[in-house]
Chain A
Amino acid sequence: MIKVERRLQQPRWLSFVVPVGSVAIAFLIMAVVLVVTGHSPGHTYRRLFDAAFVGKAAWNDTITLATPILFTGLAAAIAFRMQLFNIGAEGQLYIGAITAAGIAIWLGPGQARTVTIIAMCACGAAGAALWALIPGVLKAFGRTNEIITTLMLNYVAGLLLTYMIFDSASPWRDLSTIQTRSFPQSVALKPSQFWPTLSPFDVVLPFGFLLALGVAVALYVLIRLTRFGFEMSVIGDSQRAARYSGMRTRRKILAVMAISGGIAGLGGASQVGDFSHVLDASPQGLQGANYGYTGIVVAALGRYNPFAVCLVGVLLGGLQNAGLFLQGADFPTGLVGVMQGIILFCTLGGELLIRYRLRLGRRAASAVETAPAAEAAP
């Protein structure tokens, strides 16, 4: 009989051993699946690793895929730290993409690139922050459950995005040619508006990736060194203690929602400026990628620590990149999904072992068995 029990003490080494062990177990399980489906596990893993992390091209793709996850992961991490469960990074990212694309289209290609980038970042972050403030205000003043409101607003944001490109003649939509009138798409950014890249070690680092790392450093400083971060941790730990010490919990909820939303919004701006250069409302675009939800997984695996979130984000980007690379005639897409699923399942499931332990053993003797018959309970 297996029992799950809460650990009274959580040894430190567990937080290292468990994730590593979980990944190892995931690869073991996957090896069985691969053998059954007629693939060589060794060969497949080798290809997987090479595709994600060996060579310049692999790293370029991994980082491209990791960038949006870093933003949404950081957005979730900062809010979750205060026990504020913002599940809405997904929708906040759409809104950030909409407002950032909007300002770029409105400014036009004539502006200096720096002006365009600053304007896109500011508008992307501000638009998404305002969007996140809707559930923030509801939470702070109406005590609504933010998990539900943020989640529901994701659908609203997604439909808004679809509406602007497919169902209306909004300023975002490109109506200049017959082709774009019958196959709707957004006004595309001009090359002079594209965000720059840096390539220090032969690896192409998009501006958005560096921006995300900057955000991580800023969050670390905010959490560890500032009064604001201190208030966040007190509120996250005990609302009553926060009230007792005179902290303004409502204001902090609003501020943290805005920061969290703003970071997700930067992710949306980066998608437009760095990569797609259009506001992609198609099902394969922003709405097909699930960046916001992946961010929640990244935040949880990184234990809400900004730097750990970045590391996990890059690893997960690598996994997605490898998946794209592997799939082909001999390796169906479905199998790639199975593999990614098993790895995520094992690592998240392993988290349980940090807080709980499993015990095999016989059932303890019960009161009825140990009590002498004469003294059985009255």
Chain B
Amino acid sequence: MAMRGITKRFPGVLANDAVDFEAAPGEVHALLGENGAGKSTLSNILIGLYQPDEGEIRLYGERVDFHSPSDAIEAGIGMVHQHFRLVPPFTVAENIILGEHREEARRFVVHPRQIEKRVAALGERYGLAVDPGARVWQLSVGEQQRVEILKALYREARILILDEPTAVLTPQEAEALFATLRAMAAEGRTVIFISHKLHEVKAVSDRVTVLRGGRAISTLPTADATPRELAALMVGRDVELARRVEREVPPGDEEALEVEALTVRGDRGEHSVRDVSFVVRSGEVVGVAGVAGNGQRELAETITGMRSPSHGRVLVHGRRTRLGDPRSAIRARVAHVPEDRLGTGVAPTLTIAENSVLKSYRGREVSRGPLLLWRVIRNQARQLIERYRVAAPGVDARARDLSGGNLQKLVLGREFAGTPQVLIAASPTRGLDVGAIETVHAYLREAAAGGVGVLLISEDLDEILALADRVVVMYEGQLTGEFDPATATVEEIGLAMAGGERS
């Protein structure tokens, strides 16, 4: 696969500037760069979503012109997007044959059993365990990702692009994914791995191409570069890699959030949170580590009122909240940065201004009687995007046109605007680039320093170790361990995440 002199302009932006990029069969090639560096644009050109303004794409030496993703799929290019393209009410097997026009999928009568069998066989071969008969909405994010990879494999993709694939995985799961990717490369496929995580790029790829500001800065064998050198190439200056910062303000001892004996049923009716109790003190960051799908989402949703528990209590500064009622949590000033930013954290087709008052629109400052004061709202939104450095054309831009990092800044800015007592942050840096992660971490630290009790739910152990004052591990709905991040090792925590012995 070779892309030569690819240039793509958007109104006001030069997204790709004469980019040369090539990857050989049998290699895992990392595409490294910050958000806005042009990785997404480049991969979207390769999969036919965009047409380049200049330049050409060659596959196995032949020039190709993709006018739509279906052309690219036909040419054997598969992509696993950061935001999955799956139909939630459909089964895994049904999702895999969506848009597929060969063999079993082509028949007038589709035999799900046969397809499920084939999917299961594929899954076994590549170590991608997922029940082909399960419905997608019941799966954890990590499992959904496996479905996306299976979908590409099912279509016999010879070139597979993965956009930030490890964001949803545990260290052990990421390791398993890397094994899958290497196995696919060993069969002569080309794997393009888009990431900004240096140690992953180091761990999995054979070569790496670094993009910065829309240009391909350099392509080099991964073994020849240190993470620090790669980081410098990516950002264009020397950077500090994520590390623990000692707190200037120690956490208080007032109990900001108390969760008592919480038991919650998940979407499938199973007990996804079982008898969980813990306390978050004001100014404290408690990290909840765990593999995706072990009840963290249900826990966050219950504390914030989006889900009703079957048992248990939640107290904010000693006062009980009405469970199953988001408004009660909002009144108790529980801020929530949801895992699903686009779709839950914001209404995607509404504007930034509208989304900035998603929770405060009932307040006195922005309304008079039944009327909303749009002038005030737009002014506030303007201040918000300025203060939190949300890169957007204006407050009338639609939320879904923002990049992941800017969207998260908008959500955080809005949640902080309500002067929270407690902040529930679920995977707050998932899919963000280095710069945006630094910013989000700074905001979380700032919140804790200001006395907010922060519950940080994340699948990224590095993040939890860098930020948390205390770490609890969730496995199959229960808390299976508590650690002091200053002394605990990744191995110890990883063992608890996999359901090992309790401490």
Contacts and interface: CB of A to CB of B under 8 A. Distances in A.
Nearest to A366: B74
Interface string B177-192: 0000000000110000
A246 B346 contact: no
A240 interface: yes
Contacts of B361: 227, 230-231, 245
Given A245-B359, A370-B60, A230 B75 contact: no
Interface in A215-247: 225-228, 230-231, 233-234, 237-238, 240-246
Given A3-B68, A378-B188, A370 B62 contact: yes
B71 interface: yes
Interface stretch (A23-31, A36-44, A357-365): A357-365
B158 A371 contact: yes
B158 A8 contact: no
A244 B306 CA distance: 6
A378 B362 CA distance: 60
A314 to B, nearest CB: 29
Contacts of A371: 60, 76, 158
Given A8-B49, A227-B370, A230-B372, A365 B75 contact: yes
Given A246-B325, A366-B75, A240 B59 contact: no
Interface of B: 25, 49-50, 59-60, 62, 64-68, 70-72, 74-76, 156, 158, 187-188, 304-306, 325-327, 329-330, 336, 338, 340, 343-350, 354, 357-359, 361-362, 367, 370-372, 374
B354 A370 contact: no
Contacts of A366: 74-76
Given A225-B371, A244-B306, A370 B362 contact: no
A370 to B, nearest CB: 5
A35 interface: no
Given A233-B354, A237-B348, A244-B338, A359 B67 contact: yes
A244 B345 CA distance: 7
Contacts of B66: 364
Nearest to A5: B68
Contact of A225 (B327, B350, B358, B374): B374
A61 B25 CA distance: 72
A329 interface: no
Contacts of B354: 230, 233-234
Given A241-B343, A370-B76, 10 more contacts: A3-B67, A234-B347, A234-B350, A237-B347, A243-B306, A244-B338, A364-B64, A366-B75, A367-B74, A377-B76
Interface centre among A241, A375, A378, by most chain B C-beta atoms within 10 angstroms, is A241
Contacts of A110: none
7 contacts: A5-B67, A226-B371, A227-B371, A230-B361, A233-B347, A246-B329, A378-B188
A33 to B, nearest CB: 35
Contacts of A225: 371-372, 374
Given A241-B347, A364-B65, A370 B358 contact: no
Contacts of A231: 361
* 6 closest cross-chain pairs (CB), A and B: A367-B76, A246-B327, A364-B71, A237-B347, A246-B326, A241-B347
Contacts of B306: 243-244
Contacts of A233: 347, 350, 354
A64 to B, nearest CB: 35
A361 B25 contact: no
Interface residues of B, dominant DSSP: loop
A245 B372 contact: no
Interface centre among A226, A237, A377, by most chain B C-beta atoms within 10 angstroms, is A237
A372 interface: yes
A377 B156 contact: yes
Contact of A226 (B156, B187, B329, B370): B370
Nearest to B367: A227
A240 to B, nearest CB: 4
Given A227-B361, A244-B326, A370 B64 contact: yes
Interface string A260-297: 00000000000000000000000000000000000000
Given A359-B68, A365-B75, A238 B326 contact: no
A367 B349 contact: no
Contact of A361 (B67, B156, B349): B67
Given A8-B49, A227-B367, A375-B25, A240 B344 contact: yes
A365 B158 contact: no
Contact of A8 (B50, B345, B371): B50
A364 B349 CA distance: 33
Contacts of B340: 240
Interface in A166-225: 225
A231 to B, nearest CB: 8
Nearest to B374: A225
B343 A240 contact: yes
Nearest to B72: A364
A377 B26 CA distance: 12
A227 B62 CA distance: 57
Given A8-B49, A375-B188, A241 B346 contact: yes
A226 B327 CA distance: 19
A296 to B, nearest CB: 22
A242 B66 CA distance: 38
Contact of A364 (B74, B338, B357): B74
Contact of A367 (B158, B344, B374): B158
A3 B71 CA distance: 11
